């Protein structure tokens, strides 16, 4: 088939490369000339393990094309996926302006024949009906179009694996032919097929992300209980997770969730609920706890570190990505800068993005050991693998004082005590 993706972010680019790898002819539409040229040269623009190799492979096979020209891609396409961003407005409501602009451009360029327009962008209930209305008002009389919602569930850092090995593929549409086409292109992929209506498909995405964010905030709330009572959060949550009705995934305490999905999707679901007259207290609390645990990490620094020079390991909101959108590290560092702290930081992938945001307000190092030299404490915010078995003898010798504030519980308490660290982790006994 010929498939077009509009938008080349994490969702659009990863999915486009995979469908091209299946043998389809795939177009990707963007609007920034420089970015499109970089993509054509094999630069994926984002850090995602395995993506550069997949991009280069399908460019060489001439199955993957990048353009700013709708007229080049849309008329030939069997399916058009909308994969543009839907950032939150100040109210928390999803900003759908780009989605609707894209829909208008698609409608203007549809030619005679049948085309499925499927929204992978995360949109609130009713948005696809508005897309349908826009397409109907802009397409030619000879063009036949059906709208579908096909939400994505990939995680940054494991995007290729998640796309190739989905738990489920959700297809929402009232059009039988559209459903059949979408089922056909997803044949190489596993996972349960969920065929439903537009509204249900739209809500499934928000409900899924908000449920995961709720589990994270629950784990973080329990970690606060543990710090007050002397209980061990890892013991507590592992035992809770052994219950098959609950499970262990997303029950890891830390410094809060971030990224492009959870923060905005929780806000959007709260906004939708308020518009519908619903009580959104549960989701309001999920957001509140996410802020509380970030502030709790800052409080630990203020309580246990007497100097003002801090080293940070990790800046991205999670490992294996360079994404810093709503990253806990950014909130924490900005707060500490206002309080007069000096920050030195290292991250395997996200430093360039943080430099664009904070410029010369903090110092960046290209090595995890150089960054700790002379610091009053080491603060761990992102659980990159290279930190898990770091040379802690070396870290101790480089620090001015052997203090680690660990927001991700990377190390065993007994080992840190034996090494002579002052070690303050999350939901566990502080080694003082």
Q: Is 254 labelled a binding residue?
A: yes
Sequence-ordered alpha helix ranges (H) in 305-398: 328-338, 351-358, 385-388, 392-398
Q: Is 48 labelled a binding residue?
A: no
Asked whether 42 and 52 are in contact (CB, 8 A), the reply is yes
Q: Is 155 labelled a binding residue?
A: yes
β-pairing verdict for 403-406 and 25-29: unpaired
Bridge partners, residue 145, by sequence: 115
Q: Is 251 labelled a binding residue?
A: yes
CA–CA gap between residue 418 and residue 427 (Å, rounded): 20
Asked whether 208 and 122 are in contact (CB, 8 A), the reply is no
| Helix, strand, or coil (residue 367) | coil
CA–CA gap between residue 397 and residue 139 (Å, rounded): 68
Half-sphere exposure of 145 (CA within 13 A, CB side): 32
CA–CA gap between residue 14 and residue 336 (Å, rounded): 36
Q: Is 156 labelled a binding residue?
A: yes
Instruction: For Cα atoms 10, 16, 20, give the angle at the middle one, nearest 5 degrees.
Output: 150
Coarse DSSP helix, strand, coil percentages of the chain, rounded to the nearest 5 percent: 45, 15, 40
Question: Which residues have CB under 8 Å from 231's CB, separation 6+?
Answer: 225, 427
Asked whether 181 and 211 are in contact (CB, 8 A), the reply is no
Asked whether 427 and 226 are in contact (CB, 8 A), the reply is yes
Phi and psi torsions of 122, nearest 5°: -80, 115
Q: Is 252 labelled a binding residue?
A: yes
CA–CA gap between residue 278 and residue 274 (Å, rounded): 6
Give the strand order in the sheet containing 113-119. Answer: 64-67, 25-29, 2-6, 79-82, 113-119, 143-149, 168-172, 192-196
Phi and psi torsions of 206, nearest 5°: -65, -40
Q: Is 86 labelled a binding residue?
A: yes
CA–CA gap between residue 219 and residue 226 (Å, rounded): 10
Question: Which residues have CB under 8 Å from 373's CB, separation 6+?
Answer: 398, 399
Q: Is 318 labelled a binding residue?
A: yes
Q: Is 253 labelled a binding residue?
A: yes
For the question of residue 261 being annotated catalytic, the response is: yes
List 119, 150, 226, 261, catalytic entry: 261
Q: Is 63 labelled a binding residue?
A: no
Q: Is 250 labelled a binding residue?
A: yes
Residues making up the annotated binding site for substrate are: 153-156, 205, 250-254, 258, 318
Residues annotated as catalytic (active site), given as ranges: 261
């Amino acid at each position: 088939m010929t498939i077009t993706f509009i938008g080349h972010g994490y969702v659009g680019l990863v999915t486009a490369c995979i469908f091209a790898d299946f043998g389809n002819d795939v177009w990707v539409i963007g609007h920034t000339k420089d970015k499109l040229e970089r993509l054509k040269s094999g630069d994926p623009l984002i850090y995602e393990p395995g993506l550069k190799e997949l991009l280069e492979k399908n460019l060489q096979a001439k199955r993957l094309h990048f353009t700013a020209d709708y007229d080049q891609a849309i008329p030939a396409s069997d399916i058009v996926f909308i994969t543009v961003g839907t950032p939150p407005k100040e109210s928390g409501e999803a900003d759908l302006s780009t989605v609707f602009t894209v829909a208008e451009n698609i409608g203007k360029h549809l030619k005679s024949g049948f085309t499925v327009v499927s929204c992978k962008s995360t949109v609130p209930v009713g948005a696809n009906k508005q897309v349908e209305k826009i397409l109907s008002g802009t397409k030619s009389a000879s063009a036949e179009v059906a709208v579908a919602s096909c939400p994505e569930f990939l995680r940054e850092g494991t995007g290729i694996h998640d796309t190739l090995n989905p738990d489920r593929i959700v297809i929402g549409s009232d059009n039988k032919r559209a459903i059949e086409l979408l089922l056909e292109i997803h044949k190489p992929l596993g996972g349960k097929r969920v065929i439903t209506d537009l509204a249900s498909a739209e809500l499934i995405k928000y409900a899924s992300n908000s449920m995961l964010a709720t589990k994270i905030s629950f784990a973080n709330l329990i970690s606060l209980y543990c710090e007050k009572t002397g209980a061990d959060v890892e013991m507590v949550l592992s035992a809770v997770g052994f219950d098959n009705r609950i499970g262990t995934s997303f029950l890891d305490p830390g410094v809060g969730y971030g990224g492009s999905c959870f923060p905005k999707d929780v806000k959007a679901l709260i906004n939708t609920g308020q518009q519908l007259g619903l009580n959104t207290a549960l989701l309001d609390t999920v957001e509140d706890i996410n802020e509380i645990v970030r502030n709790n990490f800052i409080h630990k620094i203020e309580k246990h570190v007497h100097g003002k020079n801090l080293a940070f390991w990790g800046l991205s909101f999670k490992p294996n990505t360079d994404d810093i959108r709503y990253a806990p590290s950014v909130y924490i560092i900005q707060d500490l800068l206002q309080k007069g702290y000096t920050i030195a930081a290292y991250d395997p992938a996200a430093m360039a993005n943080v430099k664009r945001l904070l410029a010369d307000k903090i110092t960046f190092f290209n090595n995890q050991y150089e960054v700790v030299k002379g610091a009053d404490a080491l603060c761990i915010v992102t659980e990159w693998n290279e930190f898990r078995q770091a040379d802690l003898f070396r870290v101790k010798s480089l620090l001015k004082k052997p203090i680690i504030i660990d927001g991700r519980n990377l190390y065993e308490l007994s080992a840190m005590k034996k090494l002579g660290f002052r070690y303050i982790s999350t939901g566990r006994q502080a080694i003082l």
